[in-house]
A and B are shown apart, each in its own frame.
Chain A
Amino acid sequence: MPRWSGRLEKVDDFRWRIPKSYKSGMRVDGLIFASQKVLDSVLEEQASEQVANVAFLPGIVGHSLAMPDIHWGYGFPIGGVAAMRVSDGVVSPGGVGFDINCGVRLLRTNLQEVEVRPVIKELMDALYRDVPSGLGLEGKIRLRHGEIDEVLVRGSRWAVEKGYGRREDLETTEDRGEMSGVDPDHVGRKAKERGVPQLGTLGSGNHFLEVAVVDQIHDKTIAGDMGINRLGQVMLLVHCGSRGLGHQVAGDYIAVMVNSMRKYNIELPDRQLACAPLGSQEGQAYLAAMRGAANYAWANRQCIAHWVRETFCKVMGKSEEDAGLELIYDVAHNIAKIEEHEVDGERAKLCVHRKGATRAFPAGHPEVPRKYARIGQPVFVPGDMGRFSYVLVGTEQAMKESFGSTCHGAGRVKSRAASKRMLRGEEVLKDLESRDITIRAGSLKSLAEEAPHAYKDVSEVVSVAHNAGISQVVARTRPIGVIKG
């Protein structure tokens, strides 16, 4: 793959600008948050060109942004953030991605590593058995005819009312796990057919379930407010999305918008950026469907977290109360939302696309749960299987600079094929087990594809987000057990 040789200007140690003069048609500058080290790997591929391409989208304000975990996607880069004016801007399904509301939730426990270590193998076997994962698998939830529409409209609340988890979980879920403005009739038949059997499944690819322990605490007060109290404390992390339902919604609407672009006289350098005016029938229909898929994903994570709690308590021989299993927070990292932000000194209603980027609202923001009003919204940045994950909080700086957004993960540096060529699944497994990480995976092949060396160092990515000020590091965890689909 050719190295990117476009125009890039250094703003400071953590910011790089692609001036809009780089390509005729760019409406705003591009801005990449990166250190020199991160930038070196970013320039190995064409992700920066994609940042420039996003700047073509009508109604875009501020910058076409890339978070420090930026890597080459299709259409938008992964790690891309773009905000369009509601009045005259567009919505782009490619700016959300196929896995609508892929996201992460983190649960705390009262237990310490020393208590879990002796039974870790048993725990991972039980979690692997109780949480459906992998390819070609159906879940164990049976929906009544037409009940999928309730899942689409009510998201996590549907799950809680069915007995999956607790009412308090809704307080600590982005949008309470229930975005408004859903019209289930805009979610197609095929999407629902895919969604019905897959509700309550982890899926495959980079999705996972992790038992982790707190490894560093950077800010005791903020961590304490989240219930992160001690080194060695055990945490449970769930990463998954809207499964086939979301993939189908995204594909259906990309096809719709590729065709409607002629009607709206929109020309773009990559059709995967296909979009429609926010006020158009196509734009509104997509948003109404996307929100339904987002709610499906929240219901999915809510059900999975419920089984994780049950299984954890059973294996540890504790009640939920004694185990202290509380949901710290649940964040989306593939989503488009209508939000108010300041643009050129004035409040404006924007459609913020976050594709592989996490909302990072500051303390006091009305969207942040009361519980976290003084610390800001929790953000989780999982790394690869062998390294760390981070807990951060949103900041005022993020509101000023990145429409309240920060990074979402480590970011791939090697293709799946290249990753497999370097190490076989057996070797990856052996390496992880030698580091005392217990792995349960659907296939050794997927393990090789998701091996630690396929990813950037998450610590470097997070330090850029922290030093640039678009989020603040609170704590770090390391895995002791991982389930890969």
Chain B
Amino acid sequence: MRRFELIEHTADIGLVAYGNNLAEAFANAAYGLFSIIAEIDNVREVESREVEVSAEDVDGLLFDWINHLIYAFDVEHLLFRRFDIFDFAETDLKATCRGEKYDPSWHQLKTGVKSATYHMLEVDAEKSRVQLIFDV
């Protein structure tokens, strides 16, 4: 199954992510994010971080989840490629994110992502599909 597809937007870029359940769609959205930021194929799983996010509703959860990962990249320069989401509820999630620190001699960065946006943000629990636009 496809994990995600990119959406074109004049000034920015977005994605639709899929999964067998909503948690998987959230994980694939995160994978999509890092494949926008960097060439994800040569990111190895050498470091991990536990992430906890909570919000007032499921849309907010997607927004905060993605923004937390953007923050982690900005501050710790961590490129993640694997996301094991457990304890997924509508307003909370816990995840183990695996990847490695950005190393300019090894990794190729592609696009700086400033933030997730609420514009066209959709969470479809029935179809296990999420959509969002980034500000890049």
Contacts and interface: CB of A to CB of B under 8 A. Distances in A.
Nearest to A260: B56
Interface in A74-123: 74-75, 78, 94, 97-99
B56 A259 contact: yes
B118 A254 contact: yes
Best-buried of B59, B104, B135, B136 by chain A (most CB within 10 Å): B135
B10 A98 contact: no
Contacts of B109: 134-136, 442-443
B111 A446 contact: yes
Interface stretch (A164-172, A268-276, A359-367, A463-471): A268-276
A190 B71 contact: yes
A72 B10 contact: yes
Contacts of A418: 8
Interface string B32-45: 00000100000000
A412 B11 contact: yes
B135 A74 contact: yes
B49 interface: no
Contacts of A415: 8-13
B46 to A, nearest CB: 17
Contact of B10 (A135, A414, A449, A485): A414
Interface in B85-136: 102, 104, 108-112, 114-121, 133, 135-136
A71 B12 CA distance: 11
B117 A74 contact: yes
Contacts, number: 124
Contact of B136 (A272, A274, A416): A416
Interface string A184-197: 00000010011001
Contacts of B70: 247
A255 B55 contact: yes
B67 interface: yes
B112 A203 contact: yes
B90 to A, nearest CB: 14
A98 B60 contact: no
B120 A74 contact: yes
Contacts of B9: 72, 74, 415
B74 interface: yes
Contacts of B77: 136
A460 interface: no
Nearest to B57: A259
Interface in B12-45: 12-13, 37
A272 B112 contact: no
Interface in A405-453: 412-418, 442-443, 445-446, 449
B58 interface: no
Contacts of A78: 11
B75 interface: yes
A75 B117 contact: yes
Contacts of B121: 271
Contacts of A73: 11-12, 119
Interface string A37-81: 000000001000000000000000000000000011111001000
Nearest to A207: B112
Contact of A75 (B13, B104, B118): B118
Contacts of A198: 74
A244 interface: yes
A300 interface: no
A250 interface: yes
A403 to B, nearest CB: 23
A244 B67 contact: no
Contacts of B75: 190, 193-194, 197, 244
A244 B9 CA distance: 22
A270 B9 CA distance: 16
B6 interface: yes
A455 to B, nearest CB: 11
Nearest to B108: A443
A258 B118 contact: yes
A181 interface: no
Nearest to B56: A259
B60 A258 contact: yes
A67 to B, nearest CB: 15
Contacts of B110: 443, 445
A443 B37 CA distance: 13
A270 B119 contact: yes
A311 interface: no
Contacts of A75: 117-119
14 contacts: A75-B118, A98-B135, A136-B104, A193-B75, A194-B71, A194-B75, A205-B114, A248-B67, A259-B60, A270-B118, A271-B118, A272-B118, A416-B12, A416-B111
Given A255-B55, A415-B10, 18 more contacts: A1-B8, A72-B10, A73-B119, A74-B119, A74-B133, A74-B135, A98-B117, A194-B75, A197-B75, A205-B114, A251-B67, A254-B63, A258-B118, A272-B117, A414-B10, A416-B136, A418-B8, A445-B111
Interface of A: 1, 45, 71-75, 78, 94, 97-99, 134-136, 190, 193-194, 197-198, 203-205, 244, 247-248, 250-251, 254-255, 258-259, 270-272, 274, 412-418, 442-443, 445-446, 449, 485
The 3 closest A-B pairs by CB, nearest first: A74-B119, A272-B119, A271-B118
